[in-house]
Amino acid sequence: MSGDIIARALASVSETFMAASGPGGQNVNKVSSAVHLRCNAGALGLHPAVLRRLKTLAGSKMTANGEIVIAARRYRTQEMNRADARERLVQLLEKALIEPEPRKKSRLNRVGKVQRLKSKKVRGAVKANRGKVRLD
C-alpha cells in the first residue's frame, strides 16, 4: 500500500527548474540546476491520520492549499537535484505512513508513591522556610 501511495505521489509531481546559488562557478549563472518539486498531498488519497502526520512533518514545506514544495539545490547538476528532491519526498511520505506506537501509561508501585510524597514534603518544607527574615 505504501508503495502505491509513493508511486502516485511521484507520478503527480510537477517540477520547475531555476538558477541555483552555491557551488558550480560560472556554470550556476548559465544553467537552471535547482529544482522546485511540487506535490499535491490532498490528491494522493491519504488516510486523514496520515495526512495530519504529513502536515506536521512537512511543516513550512506544505502550503496552505496542501501542496508540498521541496527545493533542491545541493548538487551541481539538474538530474542530481531532481533525484534528491524526489528522494526527500519519498522519505517524507514513508515517515508519515509509519503509525507511531501509542504511549503506555507508566505505573508506580506503593513504595515509589511513598518516596515521591516524602520528597514532595521535603521540597515543600525547604520552600516554606524561604522568604523574608522576620526579627521577632
Q: What is residue 115's predicted lDDT score, i.e. its pLDDT?
A: 95
92: exposed, middle or buried (C-beta count within 10 Å: 0-12, 13-18, 19+)?
A: buried
**Grid cell in block for residue 132:** 523574608
Tens digit of each residue's pLDDT (9 = 90 or more) over 41-76? 777 777 788 888 888 887 888 878 878 888 887 887
Task: Give the single-character DSSP code of 23.
Answer: S
DSSP three-state, residue 9: helix
- What the chain holds in terms of domains, given with CATH numbers, is 2-97 (3.30.160.20)
67/65 Cα distance (integer angstroms) = 6
Q: What is residue 30's predicted lDDT score, i.e. its pLDDT?
A: 66
Report the 10 Å Cβ neighbour count for 17.
14
99/52 Cα distance (integer angstroms) = 11
Give percent of the chain above pLDDT 90.
Answer: 14
Tens digit of each residue's pLDDT (9 = 90 or more) over 72-95? 878 877 788 888 888 888 888 888
